[in-house]
Amino acid sequence: MLHIDNLVKTFDGERRKRARSNGKEEAAATKIFAVNDVSFEVGEGELFTLLGPSGCGKTTTLRAIAGLEKPDAGHIAVGERVLFSSKPGEKTVNVPANSRGLGMVFQSYAIWPHMTVFNNVAFPLQVMKRGERPAKREISERVMRVLETMELGSYANRQATKLSGGQQQRLALARAIVIEPTLLLLDEPLSNLDAKLRESLRYELKRLQRELGITSVYVTHDQIEALALSTKIAVMSDGNVVQLGRPREIYQNPNNKFVAEFIGTSNFISGVVSAHRGEQYTVETNDGRLLLDSAADMPGGTEVVVSVRPESMELYEESRPDLPNEWRGSVLTRAFLGDSVDHVIGVGKHELRVRCNPSISIAPGSDVYVRMPPENLSLVPVN
Amino acid sequence: MTTASPALGQETVAEPARWRRWLPTPKMLILGMVGLAIGYLALVPLYYLLWGTFFDGNGVTFGGFERAYGHSQILPLIGNSLWFAIGAAVLSLVVGTSLAYLNVRTDVPFKALFFAASIVPLIIPGILYTISWIFLASPDIGLINRLIEPVFGSGAIDIFTIWGMVWVEGLHLSPIVFLLMVAAFRSMDPSLEESALMSGATRWQVFRKVTVPLTRPAIVASILIMVVRSLESFEVPALLGLQNGIYVFTSRIYFVLRSYPPDFGAAGALAVGLLVLALIGVAMANIVGKSGKNFQTVTGKGFRPRPMELGKWRPVMGVAIVLYFILTVIAPLVVLLYTSLLKFYTAPSWDVFKTMTLDNYRELAGMSKAMTALQNSLALGLGSATLVMAFMAIAAWIVVRSRIRGRHLLDQLAFVPLVIPGLVLGLALSFVYLRSPIPIYGTLFILLIAYVTRYMPYGMRYAVISMHQISNELEESAQVSGASWWQTFRRVLLPLLAPGLLAGWVYILVVSFRELSSSILLYSPGNEVLSILIFEQFEDGEFTVLSALGVVMVLTLILLVSIAYKLGAKVGLNRN
């Protein structure tokens, strides 16, 4: 539905940025790639998330789709309609932001403080071109219908700034969908809310998006939000999409050290592929051999990093030599976290973090056995 | 036992003799003095102004009002005052706001020029600005008139009209509006405009339905402040209006006092009228400012919006900006410099350039009056800046930190002079010290008192803002360490306040250095300050010497302002 091809956006390097890193002086002095050759597709009804740390280019990508930022090159289309296209030798197409017909929710909500709740939502309908603009009565009906959906019906005549944070967020959403846009853009819409409210609105947002079936592009730096909401996630770093997939894929099989580090917590064990048969790999490390399953294609001798999540490891006080990937170590320290207990286990030179059920708590200094089930390990290439 | 003994010891040490508790501590003395001084400076002149206006030897009288308002010229006077003030305010608003919008929201060229233009009101005092516009656009000698004479005939532009007054005052005020509106546009969350754009609104709809309503509080406040400032302006109406008998409040007061015999009652009545108008303006600006707070919203990360591309309009705007810069900055300065090099004022030509000379500057150097005036201006600037900041540092502590009852009253008292036009303050002070036994009338001290009073509000603002930035705990930890109040103030607060106080000090030094409208009613021969000397020389028609003096004054101001910027920068670095 949304097609993004080879999107590039650079900013002029400022003198301030130049001074920051002496090594990259020349590159920074000319152009900074905010978005560097990004391509992806979003299917009908999907909630597609751009996830990454600040400065990774996710917001710039979103603003380029919105038309608020003019890309240097690339192609953006919604369905059959080309919104932006700049290819060498072809005429540049750049539909202005106010003719793209998209809905957008801003991080600050951008609720107009000088208007009532009703007028905020009615605005997109009121500024439509004569001829397309619905009659007054229809505008009022549509606005009220959307406000009811967002449970804001009884606030219609209030001054918009009198709403609470959660209500403002719903108002911003109401305004974005009142024209029934083909595509909804959301720029960190939950980041201004407190933790509890954020969690409840996350489910609310998910329910609404699935019910309305509205195709959405969502930008966030919060991995939990991304995992909970999305049908698909593109993890971005330094202007590039580094991994694209369903939330579970990305969490369980990070194909890249950045992704493994950025999403959740991971232990990294470096080693060398010694053998593989089909998807069954054997990796030799300084502290022992690891067996694991991976769809990656890596010949023997390849240097790799094995990544394993703290919660997918097991801790035993007695050895189970019949099971694979069991390493012996000792507890260095532990921390009680309420719903779990984290143990840091020293194995050779490695320090592995293992997350256990709160009923398990082993005193520092005790000898223990760490087991890493092969299906829970993932193979990450060393770049 | 161990618990009882310190309690006993404490009792004997901490309880002073009964009579000693009634003696004021040094802290109380200092605070009391500062409070009294502020109250005295703010209220006594107003009291005497009202007293001098409404009382004469026989009791309550409205004679002053009858003489001031009771003739046929009063309606034109009020009409001219409002026309001049509102006209100048509208001109400065239109120019300043458009420049601010262009600068913040579009890709207009020459953005550095905007900020260069914005320090003009600081470095070119109103009197010099007005005089240079006389050189440029007077019907007889104006350079612009000479330039366009072949096309439009002689004297096509006449600066000595109400339109000329509006033009000069409006241009001089426009950089202030520019700075106010830049702040307003910048503090507005850009996503408010972007979301309107995303909703399908055109640029014009966004501007009309979102940008303007959201900046309306700033716009209304700016226009009211500019109206008040124009009402209080003395230089422009005195130099441009008196020529053709166009009177406004300030120039009328001056005229009444300069006629013989001076009618203090009538001047007081006019001053009270002006004061009331200024009060109404300031009060309205405050109300608008408060209602503007309702518009504050959650703001997100400061993603600066893509500046609006002007496209084919970009060169047009570029030319307009350069023209504005030439009109407001270059032309006045150049014409001043040009005149200062002439033997007598004449339009530029090849012959004139060949006869240019530094004689005026030589004459200035040998003129004892000029040297005295320069010294007086500097001494008064240094004196008033130091006094104001020293008093306001303590006053700010009272207002921000202490729990003393009535501290907010002190805050308001310190702001009273803000609504008193300079000329009115001068008149009020002359009422006070003509009647008071303190023999300072006709000395520099009365000018010092006038300047300290006038610039007290600015000093207070600087000191209060700096005081707010210092955490209470720094002070408390000094107290816990055993420091007395005065030690805490001197060793902890003052060093931390220093950058803010220094900024205020420099600002007051600069504005005192060029003060005219209070001084004009308070100076006495032999005690002239620079701006007075320039005013006298203008009345005597000594244009060339005056210009040389003006150039010296502008150079001194540039020096002071750049020292201020330097100091500011250095202090800023140290704090990091």
State the SS3 of B172-224: HHHHHHHHHHHHHHHHCCHHHHHHHHHCCCCHHHHHHHHHHHHHHHHHHHHHH
Domains B25-53+358-576 and B73-357 share a fold: yes
pLDDT in tens, chain A (383 residues): 899 999 998 887 554 444 344 444 444 456 788 898 899 999 999 999 999 998 888 999 999 999 888 898 999 999 889 999 988 878 888 888 888 889 999 888 888 888 899 999 999 998 888 888 888 999 999 999 999 988 898 999 988 888 888 888 889 999 999 988 999 999 988 888 888 888 888 888 898 899 889 999 999 999 989 999 999 999 999 999 999 999 998 988 888 888 988 888 889 998 888 888 878 888 988 888 888 888 777 888 888 888 899 998 999 888 888 888 889 999 999 999 888 999 999 988 889 999 999 888 889 999 999 999 888 888 887 76
Run of H or E residues at A82? strand A81-86
Residue written as tokens 């830049």? B182
Distance from CA of A193 to the nearest CA of B (A): 11
Give me the long-range contacts of B544-547 (CB less than 8 A, separation at least 24). B544/B339, B544/B340, B544/B342, B544/B343, B544/B344, B544/B345, B544/B360, B545/B360, B545/B363, B545/B364, B545/B367, B546/B131, B547/B131, B547/B336, B547/B337, B547/B338, B547/B339, B547/B340, B547/B360
Q: Under an 8 A CB cutoff, do B200 and A127 touch?
A: yes
| Distance in angstroms (rounded) separating the CA atoms of residues A157 and B175 | 40
Distance from CA of A194 to the nearest CA of B (A): 13
Dihedral (Cα; A53, A67, B105, A57), 10-degree rounding: 20
CATH of A2-102+181-257, one of 3.40.50.300, 3.40.50.1000, 3.30.413.10, 3.30.360.10: 3.40.50.300
| Distance in angstroms (rounded) separating the CA atoms of residues B193 and A97 | 12
Residue of A nearest to B293 (CA): A113
Best of A54, A63, A68, A169 to disrupt the B interface by mutation (most B CBs within 10 Å)? Answer: A68
Residues 6+ positions from A345 with CB-CB distance below 8 Å? A315, A329, A330, A331, A332, A351, A352, A353, A354, A368, A370
The pLDDT value given to residue B301 = 46
The pLDDT value given to residue B23 = 67
| Distance in angstroms (rounded) separating the CA atoms of residues A227 and B196 | 31
Tokens standing for residue B527: 């005690």
Contacts of residue A60 in chain B, CB cutoff 8 Å?
Answer: none
Q: Is residue A84 within 8 Å of residue A74, measured between CB atoms?
A: yes
Considering just the CA atoms, what is the radius of gyration of chain B in Å? 27
| Distance in angstroms (rounded) separating the CA atoms of residues A253 and A259 | 9
At the top level of CATH, the class of A265-381 is: mainly beta
| Distance in angstroms (rounded) separating the CA atoms of residues B113 and B120 | 11
Check residue A288 and give left, alpha or beta (phi > 0: left; psi -120 to 50: alpha).
left
The pLDDT value given to residue B222 = 87
Contacts of residue B288 in chain A, CB cutoff 8 Å?
Answer: none
| Distance in angstroms (rounded) separating the CA atoms of residues B190 and B305 | 6
Per-domain boundaries in chain A: 2-102+181-257, 265-381
Instruction: Using alpha carbons, select from A231, A169, A159 the residue that is nearest to residue A200.
Output: A169
- How far does Cα B517 stand from its chain's mean position? 11
Per-domain boundaries in chain B: 25-53+358-576, 73-357
Q: Give the residue numbers in B contacting A (CB under 8 Å), as ranges.
A: 189, 191-192, 194-203, 205, 209-210, 213-214, 216, 294-301, 303, 305-306
The pLDDT value given to residue B204 = 86
| Cis peptide preceding B261, ω within 30 of 0 | yes
The pLDDT value given to residue B569 = 45
| Distance in angstroms (rounded) separating the CA atoms of residues B493 and B464 | 12
Distance from CA of A367 to the nearest CA of B (A): 49
Q: Under an 8 A CB cutoff, do B295 and A192 touch?
A: no
CA distances to A94, A106, A120 from B195, rounded to whole Å, are 18, 7, 10
Residue B491: other Cβ atoms inside 10 A: 11
Instruction: Using alpha carbons, select from B235, B232, B237 the residue that is nearest to residue B247.
Output: B237
Residues 6+ positions from B261 with CB-CB distance below 8 Å? none
| Distance in angstroms (rounded) separating the CA atoms of residues B253 and B268 | 8
Q: Is residue B197 within 8 Å of residue A100, measured between CB atoms?
A: no
3-class DSSP assignment, residue B70? coil
The partner residue sitting opposite B194, judged by closest CB among A70, A110, A176, is A110
Contacts of residue A112 in chain B, CB cutoff 8 Å?
Answer: 192, 195-196, 210, 214
| Distance in angstroms (rounded) separating the CA atoms of residues B70 and B429 | 26
Q: Under an 8 A CB cutoff, do A114 and B214 touch?
A: yes
Contacts of residue B199 in chain A, CB cutoff 8 Å?
Answer: 98, 123-124, 127, 175, 179
Residue A52: other Cβ atoms inside 10 A: 29
Query: Topology of B25-53+358-576 in CATH?
Result: MetI-like fold (1.10.3720)
Second-level CATH architecture of B73-357: Orthogonal Bundle (1.10)
| Distance in angstroms (rounded) separating the CA atoms of residues A10 and A30 | 10
Contacts of residue B216 in chain A, CB cutoff 8 Å?
Answer: 114
CA distances to B77, B335, B363 from B346, rounded to whole Å, are 34, 11, 19
- Global pTM value: 0.77
Residue written as tokens 């609105």? A201
The pLDDT value given to residue A144 = 94
Residue of B nearest to A121 (CA): B199
pLDDT in tens, chain B (576 residues): 344 444 444 444 445 556 556 667 778 888 889 999 999 999 999 998 888 888 776 777 787 787 878 777 788 899 999 999 999 999 999 999 999 888 888 888 888 888 788 777 778 899 999 999 999 998 888 888 888 888 887 777 889 999 999 999 999 999 888 888 888 888 777 888 889 988 989 888 988 898 888 888 888 888 888 998 899 999 999 999 988 889 999 999 998 888 888 888 888 889 998 999 888 888 888 787 676 555 544 444 444 556 777 778 889 999 999 999 998 889 999 999 999 998 888 777 778 888 888 888 988 888 888 889 999 999 999 999 999 999 999 999 989 888 888 888 888 899 889 888 999 999 999 888 888 777 888 888 999 999 999 999 999 988 988 888 888 888 888 888 878 888 888 888 888 888 888 888 888 898 898 899 999 999 988 889 999 999 999 989 888 999 999 999 999 988 888 877 776 644 433 332
Q: Under an 8 A CB cutoff, do A127 and B202 touch?
A: yes
Considering just the CA atoms, what is the radius of gyration of chain A in Å? 25
